[in-house]
Structure 1
């Protein structure tokens, strides 16, 4: 079927208000669709479930361009310290470096290890919910969703409690792309250098101590890799979990029948998390990857050394996989097929932890904040969230 697209349609204001309609048209087109981002770079959008899975596993699609290019930059380019750190993040690497680095931190995020944190996480969530209840009017982001993952990830890594506000500020700056001069990354790196030195001198029961201990075992991270790993864990661990919790609350309160079902049975919190991930997960398009050669997807060819935009939002609303995909339904039986955490070697390292945190928070909210309401007109909700990054709530 012939479907026409404007060159930068994905970034147009009308599309940003309803990107799912755009991805539906890409699925109907049945081919990769070229789009030009605001910087003028071409990105081939892929949105059908089967095609996205194919792209996520394709051996000729990856993050590091071979030979004369690295991550799209000429070899002659001398990267700054901030660029070096960004380039060593796990999500920017391919095997063998990706395999080595992921193995070094994977034990901290196994389902068994994460399960040991459940009681402690539940205590943090309960304290946040109790405080929100006392306030009466509060914000889902600042008062519930944001403090939980920053404390959990910081606890895992070994960041002292008195330093966690600084970590949140650095994370917010870097994620928002506001770190134009790299100053937040450099401040973060200097702090990790200092904290790592303290852990070498006085090891603790935390991930950073484990990572610096590897230096004496011949299987270590270099300085940029260490900073990049901690930065990624803190940023990804915070931002994605915040997104799931806030969207879960928003979707429940704008779908009253689903909210009432959760109130009647808080054990449905896990189902709410999975459907939120499918319906509106934290990652719209996986970090852009590149074709290492001409690659065939959906019967079309993406030329070598081009960027590929594999849309998780598009895949998770594919009607060939999910029944009534544009309906938010916490009772759906096909939800576990979603790929909100990616697939293959880049499957989200912290998926089990993120699921646990979101489930505990939503369960606690359903038990303790039964009269929860939106504190903004539902008709204005999307615009409010877009401009303010907040979700005002109140206890009726």
Structure 2
């Protein structure tokens, strides 16, 4: 009894504060249907931070980008409604970065990541084991097909939509999370090693369960781009753990191999269905031909550079299955590369590889442009991702 009382006095529990709740609503606004609160909360974050010093170079870059794009869109005949939609969808991330940069209390921590992963697990368990339609399959963003039909990949197996209500977006974010947490030690500074390992494993499993080819390609891209950083990490850990006996290392390796084989066995039906329906040459050829046909609609160099005539277009025509192509259509190649250059400039050097992966994964459904993606990549560019949990127990 005395031991329990001593342990209780030796720890303190930090409960979620207003900023934690604000980040939760922002990150999960799509899945909880709170999109209407997204930009008011972003404006609130910006307003709270305006009393602090603002870096003039970044502010000027942001204003110039938004001003150029606004003028370009209006000159091509867009309505005010279409202008608002295009700025919100393609350039809203600039305002999100401003909110995270100005209000340093806004951070994505381990608590939000655990909820992100938990929603993926809940979705798969609810549908595959209990045969209950999860809330993500009842979301109004899922249209034109039965939710179960879109999630099914064959053999009675379903993939998860995740917090972004889109398998490609959620899976790509999880793939980037995995490499960010694994390679960036500063992100893991406020979480103990065992908790970090468990979280990393769950992030990887959730990424697999999203069953998205776009996410898998993003993961493969990051394997190549992050290889030098991973090798440096392995050399560092080898130097630190040089005292470890060979028998202990062998035992750890055996546990890892057995754990991997167990996961493969448990996921065998899922992987078999996934490879049969998505990870094959026929499906990739179909996607390539479909994207090529869409890209051929740009008729002139001027359309490619500045965007097409926007007279008569409605806000509902924004986005689609090939989002970067739609961005080139609506804001032009100059606007698309201008945004990439601005984000690259805002983003810390160690996080730029993850920003690039997010931008490339946006070829399909717009990983970096949807609300969930805007929050994750906005926090990434503002260096506001740290695995400190809202309700973690911190030893004194």
Q: Normalized against structure 2, the TM-score is what?
A: 0.25
- Structure with the bigger percentage of helix: 2
Of the two, which has the highest radius of gyration?
2
> Quick check: which one's strand share is greater?
1
Name the structure, 1 or 2, with higher relative contact order (CA <8 Å, separation 6+).
2
TM-score normalised to the size of structure 1?
A: 0.25
